[in-house]
Amino acid sequence: MSYIISVGTAVPPYEISQETAKNFSKILFKDHFKDIDRLLHIFDHTQITKRHFCVPIEWFEVEHTFEEKNMIYVKNAIELSKQAIFHCLKNTPFGTEDIDHILFISSTGLSTPSIDAYLFNDPDIHFNPHIKRTPIWGLGCAGGAAGLSRAMEYSRAFPNDKVLVVSLEIGELAFLRNDLSKSNLVATSLFGDGAAAVLIVGDEVLQTDAGLKMIDSQSTIWKNSLDVMGWDVRNNGLKVIFSKDIPSIVQNELKPNVDQFLLNHHLTLSDLQFFILHPGGTKVIEAYENAFQITEQETMITRQILNQYGNMSSPTVLFVLQALLKNHPPKNGHGILIALGPGFSSEIILLEWMK
**Catalytic residue list contains 54:** no
Give CA separation, 14 vs 74, 118, 153, 188, in Å: 17, 23, 37, 15
pLDDT (tens, 9 = 90+) of the chain, 355 residues, equals: 899 999 999 999 999 999 998 888 888 777 777 778 887 888 888 899 999 999 998 888 888 888 998 999 999 999 999 999 999 999 899 999 999 999 999 999 989 999 999 999 999 999 999 999 999 998 989 999 999 999 999 999 999 999 999 999 998 777 666 666 666 777 788 889 999 999 999 888 876 666 799 999 999 998 887 777 777 777 766 767 676 777 778 778 889 999 999 999 999 999 999 999 999 888 889 999 999 999 999 999 999 999 999 999 999 999 999 999 987 777 788 999 999 988 888 999 999 987 7
Instruction: Give Cα separations from 166 to 244, 296, 332 (angstroms).
Output: 29, 29, 27
CATH code that applies to domain 211-354: 3.40.47.10
CA distance 230 to 242: 7
Rg (CA), the chain: 20
Domain ranges of the chain: 2-205, 211-354
Domain 2-205 classified CATH 3.10.28.10?
no
Catalytic residue among 141, 262, 317, 349: 141
For the chain, give the longest Cα–Cα distance: 63
In this chain, the answer to whether the domains covering 2-205 and 211-354 adopt an identical fold is: yes
Q: What are the phi and psi torsion angles at 191 (to 5°)?
A: -90, 150
CA distances from 266 to 69, 152, 154, 216, 338 (A): 48, 21, 25, 13, 19
